[in-house]
Structure 1
Amino acid sequence: MSFESTAAAASSPQPYEVDECRGVLRLYSDGSIVRSSKPSFDVPVNDDGSVLWKDVVFDPIHGLSLRLYKPAAQSPAGAKLPIYFYIHGGGFCIGSRAWPNCQNYCFRLALELRAVIVSPDYRLAPENRLPAAIEDGYEAVKWLQAEAVSEEPDEWLSHVADYGKVFVCGDSAGGNIAHHLAVRLGEGSPELGPIRLRGYVLLAPFFGGTVRTKAEAEGPKDAFLNWELIDRFWRLSIPIGETRDHPLVNPFGPLSHSLEAVAFDPILVVAGGSDLLKDRAEDYARRLKNWGKKIEYVQFEGLQHGFFTIDPNSKDSNELMLIINRFIAENSS
């Protein structure tokens, strides 16, 4: 290298950080992206052997895996368990099936719901902007269909799973994915046979819009999911050149197709009363109910975004588990 090129390299500005998400995703001025292998939730994994689990690759093209869970205690002879998808949150930018908070919650779900839990990963933004994550959610459900019709099924799953009782739960960004699955698959999920989706659980679903809601504008700045972070997640995940009224973000935006004619399976929507996303979740449930959809809205007063995974053993988290259990029982026949 010549003296001139060496001097130019020495004088060129070093890349600097322009965006950061909970310490695990950092973007730099030169366009580079650094992801930490450490989760943003530094909690121990409570694996006491009461739940069995394993990882399975469901999309080898994109290198995506899902984690399966089932209670270690066997069910009565011949009895099979419902299947409950849990799609993690993280603003479409962070999160993983392998994060300890996600794993601990899935342990609880498997035991308390007496169900097989399917927890898929999906491609993250900004490397993979929407609709990548939504497409991956669909592929995870299609993987389950392939298992159900396979001539050589995975006996770890097939011996205990009831493919006729499948529920999809999405947490935050996962709730957005669950909504779009409900729209795409329709009532009865006819394209998935012999899989039968029975209902959807949207936990603090991550919706947005160009006009702020009252909760977004006036909510506490020190909220677990504050406005600055919400804005950053959308900025990094929305297709370049689009706004927060994109149909994948705002189901009732000016560019979105009306949901009035869509035939939905039952939906349970849950929000915390102090969650900045509360207004959008409540508005979503109210609009669908006014159109005659089978939808239930439950709000936990005073609680923030993600309370059920932050403290999965709290009184409110236990109450939510009972509500989900009841929702599954009411919609399994």
Structure 2
Amino acid sequence: MSSSTASAPYEVDECRGVLRVYSDGSIRRSSKPSFDVPVNDDGSVAWKDVVFDPLHNLQLRLYKPASSSSSSKLPIFFYIHGGGFCIGSRTWPNCQNYCFRLALDLQAVIVAPDYRLAPENRLPAAIEDGFAAVEWLKAQAVAKEPDTWLTDVADFGNVFVSGDSAGGNIAHHLAVRLGPGSPGLDPVRVRGYVLLAPFFAGTVRTKSEAEGPKDAFLNWELIDRFWRLSIPIGETTDHPIVNPFGAISPSLEAVDVDPILVVVGGSDLLKDRVEDYAKRLKTWGKNVEYVEFEEQQHGFFTIDPNSQASNKLMQIIKHFVAQYST
């Protein structure tokens, strides 16, 4: 065997066929999404892409109903995609299809931002990018020459921040950072947060993590790999970004936050950790609603967006938005 063959880099990590990490530190990303489903674009929702962070070339995708029966302006609903901080994009068909549905069912403007991915950009990069996306919205609200595609229909006083899995982790950190009333974003006003199976962890495994099925959509091996590739080098999963209740995490007991809706599937390996998150916040007097969908897996609402459980979830989100809109 030649020395060149012997030293050839080999694959050490792979995430859903999209991300491959090699022994020499090189990384390859496929342009093909892990969800190979058709895009259901029937023209009922208008959409476009906008650069919100030129420095890192980050874009977000805006959606709005192509026609609206309401004469009033529409609430703004962020949808921050998941993917273990390592994969995913606003352009993936599953993300786009879900945003189509959110725009129509909620009769809202949907903002779906990308963020820098690991391992090229380890945490806290994604958290900072989530904050940059809401800062971009503030800039639109006060711009002298605004984008009328957005400003003609959007109600900047009725904003909701939703996150799916890793996006739910980002949404949590935004809730803590922005505080009640989001005064730093004025005139933008965040009214509430929707955390869809937020991606948290810790060095001590929960019962659902330890005993969950190995063939789960989000199994333990994949959870462990995502964290290994995304947390800062030398840190553990008790890092404050990863574990809100870790030994070195700032206490949330005295922190005020806007209303939070927390959702998880009963068969999701993250179930115990997500439930504990919601219960602790409620015990400390936070306005938190916890909803568990029996026998549902991680990401059930995008994997099967027309299922009975997905339809019920949409109604719950719709009620939450209506309840806290002004």
Question: Shorter-chain TM-score: which interval?
Answer: over 0.9
Distance 1:12 1:319, change over 3 A: same
Question: Please, which of 138, 143, 150 is the counterpart of residue 150 of structure 1?
Answer: 143
Aligned 8 A contact 2:45 2:100 in 1 = yes
CA distance in 1, matches of 2:261, 2:301: 15
Match of 2:321 in 1: 328
Distance 2:4 2:114 in 1: 41
Q: Offset of 1:14 from its aligned partner?
A: 1.1
1:69-108 map, 5 Å: 69-77=63-71, 79-108=72-101
Percent identity over the alignment is 79
Aligned equivalents of 1:105, 1:311: Cα separation in 2: 10
Contact 2:80 2:113 in 1 (8 A): yes
Could you tell me which residue of structure 2 aligns to residue 3 of structure 1? none
Q: Distance in 1 between matches of 2:27 and 2:12?
A: 10
Is residue 268 of structure 1 aligned with residue 247 of structure 2? no
Q: How does 1:11-26 map to 2 (within 5 A)?
A: 12-26=6-20
- 1:46-195 superposed matches below 5 A: 46-77=40-71, 79-195=72-188
Q: Could you tell me which residue of structure 2 aligns to residue 239 of structure 1?
A: 232
| Equivalent AA in structure 2 for residue 87 of structure 1 | I
Q: Is 1:221–2:199 an aligned residue pair?
A: no
Report if the CA contact (8 A) 2:50-2:59 is conserved.
yes
Give the superposition deviation at 1:174.
0.2
TM (norm. structure 1) is: 0.97
- When the two structures are superposed, what TM-score results if normalisation uses the length of structure 2? 0.99
The Cα offsets for residues 242-285 of structure 1, whole Å up to 9 and x where unpaired, read as 00000000000000010011110000000000000001110000
Amino acid at match of 2:233: I
Mapped partners of 2:173, 2:286: distance in 1: 15
Select which of 11, 23, 29 maps to 2:23.
29
Contact persistence 2:20–2:29 (CA under 8 A): yes
TM-aligned CA deviation for residue 9 of structure 1: 5.1
Aligned to 1:4: none
The DSSP-based 3-state class of the residue aligned with 1:257 is coil
CA distance in 2, matches of 1:274, 1:315: 16
SS of equivalent residue, structure 2 residue 239? coil
Question: Structure 2: how far apart are the matches of 1:245 and 1:205?
Answer: 15
Question: CA 1:215/1:11 → structure 2, altered by over 3 Å: closer, same or farther?
Answer: closer
**How far off is 1:8 after superposition?**
6.8
Note the residue ranges of structure 1 that are not aligned, 5 or more in a row. 1-6
Q: SS at 2:274's partner residue?
A: helix
Write out the 4+ residue segments of structure 1 that deviate beyond 6 Å after TM superposition: none
Q: 1:11 deviation in Å?
A: 5.0
Check 1:282–1:13 CA distance in 2 against 1; reply closer, same or farther (3 A cut). same
Which digits, 9 at most, give the CA deviation of each residue in 1:302-330, with x for residues without a partner?
A: 00000000011111101000000000111
- Alignment correspondent of 1:316: 309
Give the number of aligned pairs. 326
Question: Secondary structure at the residue paired with 1:201?
Answer: strand
Instruction: Give me the whole-angstrom Cα distance separating, in 1, the residues matched to 2:248 and 2:288.
Output: 24
Contact 2:68 2:107 in 1 (8 A): no
Q: Secondary structure at the match of 1:69?
A: strand
Give the distance between the partners of 1:240 and 1:200, measured in 2 at CA.
30
Structure 1 CA distance for aligned equivalents of residues 309 and 135 of structure 2: 33
Q: Which has the larger radius of gyration?
A: 1
Indicate yes or no: 2:287 matched with 1:287. no
Rounded Cα–Cα distance in structure 2 between residues aligned with 1:119 and 1:280? 26
**Deviation (angstroms), 1:81:** 0.2
User: Residues of 2 paired with 1:230 and 1:71: CA distance?
Assistant: 36
Q: Which moved more, 1:119-128 or 1:10-19?
A: 10-19
Partner amino acid for 1:160? V
Correspondence for 1:303: 296
Q: 1:76 deviation in Å? A: 3.4
Q: Any stretches of 5+ residues in structure 2 without a counterpart?
A: none
Pairing 1:207–2:204 present:
no
RMSD across aligned positions (CA): 1.0
Amino acid in structure 1 at the alignment position of 2:88: G
Q: d(CA) in 2 for partners of 1:320 and 1:106? A: 14
